[in-house]
Amino acid sequence: MPSPTPAHILLIDDNQDDIDLALLAFAGAKLKNPVSVCHCGDSAIKFLQDPKNTLPALILLDWKMPRMSGLELLKILKTDPTWRRIPVCILTTSDSPLDINSAYSGYANAYLEKPVDFHQLVDLITHSGRFWLQIVTLPLLGES
């Protein structure tokens, strides 16, 4: 019997350097979950709407993005009946109390500050990934 395909992660970030570091951190964390990448809120919505794509088990969302901010995208995600159950973790450099409060008011599931040190980023990705994808029991997507 083949093993089930691991749930995948959707990373939404406009900065290619941050994306590259996050992907290296995922590799360093030894998580077997595939990662899809979108560079803006609009492309994330298109990705999620495409029936050829499997819904992600976890969304990592940058907070500071041009055109559509992380907060604007979070509000869209959490009001859509198909997407609102997907855990959304804000992954950002901002430590602003206003941003943190806005994220949780918008129903973010977690607010993670991107560390400057790469090894700390690997630790953050390792612990977050294990928590959300191995420890927590997630709801079936599309079920009410």
DSSP secondary-structure letter at 135?
I
Q: Which two tokens stand for residue 91?
A: 């992954």
Q: Which two tokens stand for residue 101?
A: 């409060």
Kindly report the average pLDDT of the chain as a whole number: 90
Token pair 């590799």: residue: 27
pLDDT in tens, 106-127: 999 999 999 989 899 989 998 9
The single-letter code of the amino acid at 9 is I
Percentage of the chain with pLDDT > 90?
68
pLDDT in tens, 39-81: 999 999 999 999 999 999 999 999 999 899 999 999 999 999 9
Q: Is the pLDDT confidence value at 3 over 50?
A: no
Q: What is the pLDDT of residue 4?
A: 56
Q: Is the pLDDT confidence value at 143 over 70?
A: no
Q: What is the pLDDT of residue 86?
A: 95
CATH code for 13-94+108-134?
3.40.50.2300
More confident of the two residues 116 and 96: 96
**How many angstroms separate the CA atoms of 126 and 129, rounded?**
5
User: In 3D, which of 13, 76, 82 has the Cα closest to residue 54?
Assistant: 82
Determine contact, residues 87/59, Cβ cutoff 8 Å: yes
Cα angle 29, 106, 71; round to 5:
75
- pTM for this model (two decimals): 0.91
